[in-house]
């Protein structure tokens, strides 16, 4: 069934988009991530312009992270204090990100920047996660215990604050900075940033695993809502019809993914996720290096009546 997307200005097959939403939802439910880093590239590959893809995926991630956050809230697995401090940075970062997005689009370098960010971020995070998962897997094979965590320089910073539910005593400076960075790249790349945020919170901020996913989902939810709003107001690029199809597919797929995820061990899960992220990054890298079929592109600057 063909449906005309009003903002993307493109007819698409509804079932194809639904299936894409469900597939990405499955992966995101399995690994407990938003899945934006998979959804945005998939949309670009079926012919939707990167700008529309990034702006529309933001609302899709908001929907899936909201349903996730609700269930974590019921389990009291969200730290409200930590979430609010993260949000201060997150909202600022998102606003900066949307502003940069608009500037880059005017310069004609937006598509390149999206592709470059994907290559750099995904190959780095992907290979780190992959090697870490591999090491953990080998450790369990040998039967050794994971090295004990020690305090690092982050914990020497001033402006310390007590986060009760997470049971940590931490400076707000690194928390706000993490929020800004995640918000900024999220708005430019059309990702929630969960797959970067969760490792940072665990390894750098030493947030206990009990609250880390729920809290990161709150940050994702709010930054993506803000990104949706700002993209809609400044660039008029949010395709609500596309977003709705993705949401319906995504939330359904996520439920099955979550069940599948419980059957796999943590190290293997991380290894798989690392591999997946790495392959998306490499896919973008290849795209940049090989010669495009057409060197010229046209962009319409709006019909003048």
Q: Does 66 bind another protein (CB under 8 A)?
A: yes
Beta bridge partners of 10: 5
Among residues 133 and 192, whose Cβ is nearest to another protein? 192
Q: Is residue 59 part of the contact set for another protein (CB under 8 A)?
A: yes
- Shortest distance in whole angstroms from residue 104 CB to another protein: 11
- As a whole number of angstroms, the distance between CA 190 and CA 39 comes to 9
Q: Does 67 bind another protein (CB under 8 A)?
A: yes
Of 60 and 270, which CB lies nearer to another protein in the complex structure?
A: 60
Work out how close the CB of 223 gets to another protein at its nearest, in angstroms, rounded to a whole number: 12
Is 275 in contact with 39 (CB distance < 8 Å)? Answer: no
Task: Give the up-direction half-sphere exposure of residue 61: CA atoms within 13 A in the CB hemisphere.
Answer: 38
Site string for another protein, 233-262 (x = CB under 8 A): xx-x-x-xx-xx--xx--xx-xx-------
* Residue 171 β-bridge partners: 160
297 binds another protein (CB under 8 A): yes
Buried b (16+ CB within 10 A) or exposed e, 2-35: eeebebbebebeeeebbebbbbbbbbbbbbbbbb
Interface pattern 161-190 for another protein (x via CB under 8 A): ------------------------------
Please select the residue that binds another protein; options are 63, 191, 207, 212, rule is CB under 8 A: 63
CA–CA separation, 143 and 263 (whole Å): 21
Interaction of residue 292 with another protein, rule CB under 8 A: yes
Residue selected from 13, 19, 71, 160 as contacting another protein according to rule CB under 8 A? 71
Check residue 104 for interaction with another protein (CB under 8 A): no
47 interacts with another protein by CB under 8 A = no
CB of 31 to another protein, least distance (A): 17
What are the CB-based long-range contacts (under 8 Å, 24+) for 258-267?
A: 258/29, 258/30, 258/32, 259/29, 260/26, 260/29, 260/30, 261/29, 261/30, 261/31, 261/32, 264/30, 266/136, 267/133, 267/136, 267/137, 267/140
CB of 113 to another protein, least distance (A): 10
State the pairing for strand pair 10-13/2-5.
antiparallel
Report how many residues bind another protein under the rule CB under 8 A.
63
CB 81 within 8 A of CB 163: yes
Residues that bind another protein (CB under 8 A): 2-7, 9-11, 59-60, 62-68, 70-71, 74, 108-109, 111-112, 116, 224-225, 228-234, 236, 238, 240-241, 243-244, 247-248, 251-252, 254-255, 288-289, 291-292, 294-305
């Amino acid at each position: 069934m063909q449906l005309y997307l009003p903002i993307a200005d493109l007819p698409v097959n509804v079932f194809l988009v639904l299936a894409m939403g469900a597939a990405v939802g499955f992966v995101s439910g399995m690994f407990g991530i938003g899945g934006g880093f998979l959804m945005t590239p998939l949309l670009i590959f079926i012919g939707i312009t990167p700008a529309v893809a990034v702006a529309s995926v933001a609302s899709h991630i908001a929907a899936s992270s909201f349903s996730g956050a609700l269930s974590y809230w019921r389990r009291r697995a969200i730290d409200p204090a930590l979430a609010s401090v993260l949000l201060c940075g997150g909202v600022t970062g998102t606003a900066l990100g949307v502003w940069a997005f608009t500037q880059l689009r005017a310069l004609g370098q937006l598509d390149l920047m999206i592709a470059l960010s994907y290559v750099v971020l995904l190959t780095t995070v992907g290979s780190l996660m992959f090697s870490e998962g591999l090491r953990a897997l080998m450790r369990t094979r040998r039967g050794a215990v994971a090295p004990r965590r020690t305090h690092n320089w982050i914990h020497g910073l001033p402006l310390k604050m007590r986060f009760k539910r997470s049971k940590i005593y931490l400076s707000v400076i690194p928390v706000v900075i993490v929020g800004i960075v995640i918000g900024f790249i999220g708005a430019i790349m059309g990702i929630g940033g969960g797959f970067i945020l969760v490792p940072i919170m665990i390894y750098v901020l030493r947030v206990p695993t009990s609250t880390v996913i729920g809290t990161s989902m709150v940050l994702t939810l709010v930054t993506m809502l803000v990104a949706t709003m700002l993209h809609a107001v400044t660039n008029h690029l949010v395709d609500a019809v596309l977003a709705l199809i993705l949401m319906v597919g995504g939330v359904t797929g996520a439920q099955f993914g979550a069940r599948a995820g419980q059957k796999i061990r943590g190290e293997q899960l991380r290894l798989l996720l690392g591999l997946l992220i790495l392959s998306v990054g490499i896919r973008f890298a290849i795209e940049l290096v090989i010669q495009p079929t057409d060197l010229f592109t046209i962009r319409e600057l709006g019909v003048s009546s």
